[in-house]
Amino acid sequence: MKFTCSDCPRHCAAERGEKPAGFCRSGALPRVARAAAHYGEEPCISGTRGAGTIFFTGCNLHCVFCQNREISRGGAGQELTVEALADTMLRLRDTGVHNIELVTGSHFVRPIAEALSRVSLGVPVVWNSSGYESVETLRLLDGLIDVYLPDMKYEKSEPARRYSGAADYPAVAERAIEEMFRQVGPYVLDGEGLMKRGVLIRHLILPGQELNAMDVMDFVAEHFPAGSVLFSLMSQYTPMPGTERWSELQQTIDAETNENLICYMKKLGLEGYSQDVAAATGAMIPDFDGTGL
């Protein structure tokens, strides 16, 4: 399998085959670091039995503060054929998880879409992504994904450039999330409060970026009908090794800033979730040790 890749908004036209290539440093076949129940997502995703989470290696953003940098910078994990990926999904489903959650799979969208088209899982499929995705590529997933779980990291270009090397992130993510909503429509929860369909937009508060967080919430409130999407305001930012050159990133979110943003979220009428600042421990980062492969 080999192809010239322009699937993500970077359009780097890398020749992806057996060897890593492109900004995401990935080959043609998906590389997976873990496939197991995960309990660190929002309650409507994790439930009581966990989300059936498959963590893919590599990313098209390389955020300087990434908590999953062990796998997001590529290299780790096990390469899987389309058949092996489909089998992994089925085995994971059979453990009793509430859904199959695909984490940071945008750069492997073609083999993932093929694997999903080969199986009947009987549980919701969750697409957990950075939000930095092209509309054309997302359309390859139309009808295959039940729940979209995108980040909306930035509504300001300067922090997007500074921390993720993607000044165009705000415009790209806006279009991507609108496409996700077009595909799956307003969110639906079952009788146990588990998400069966819809969009849940996440925003990680960054130190010194309170206005950026407010702009993100403004976008969500203005572009989606009230009660049609869920929103998750996260204060779990934890300084990671390698961020020392960005002095502003060497602190966690203070309680006052967090409370101000929670109040703003409520003022806008956004439904969803928020966190206490005590969440900033890194405890929810799993071991990327090949479990489930």
pLDDT 10s digits, 207-254: 999 999 999 999 999 999 999 999 999 999 999 888 899 999 999 999
Instruction: State mean pLDDT over 160-174.
Output: 97
Cα 48 to chain center, whole Å? 21
Q: Where are the alpha helices (DSSP H) in the chain?
A: 43-46, 69-72, 82-93, 109-118, 135-138, 157-164, 169-184, 210-223, 255-268
Furthest-apart CA atoms within the chain: distance in Å: 52
Q: How far apart are CA 31 and CA 56, in angstroms?
A: 6
The per-residue pLDDT for 241 is 86
Flag whether pLDDT at 275 surpasses 70: yes
Return the bridge partners of 148, or none. 127, 199
pLDDT per position as a tens digit, 22-76? 888 888 899 999 999 999 999 999 999 999 999 999 999 989 999 887 888 767 7
The per-residue pLDDT for 71 is 85
Pick from 34, 20, 31: nearest CA to 288: 34
Tell the residue number behind the tokens 């453990």, with chain if given: 95
Q: How far apart are CA 85 and CA 112, in angstroms?
A: 8
Q: How far apart are CA 147 and CA 138, in angstroms?
A: 13
What are residue 89's phi and psi, to 5 degrees?
A: -60, -45
Between the alpha carbon of residue 279 and those of residues 52, 89, 100, 231, 258, the distances in Å are: 22, 29, 24, 17, 12
Half-sphere exposure of residue 178, counting CA atoms within 13 Å on the CB side? Answer: 13
User: SS3 of 3, please?
Assistant: strand
Q: How confident is the model at residue 283 (pLDDT cuts 50, 70, 90)?
A: low
Instruction: State mean pLDDT over 168-196.
Output: 98
Instruction: State mean pLDDT over 109-127.
Output: 97
The pTM of this model reads 0.96
Q: How far apart are CA 209 and CA 96, in angstroms?
A: 39
Q: What single letter denotes the amino acid at residue 201?
A: I
The per-residue pLDDT for 293 is 87
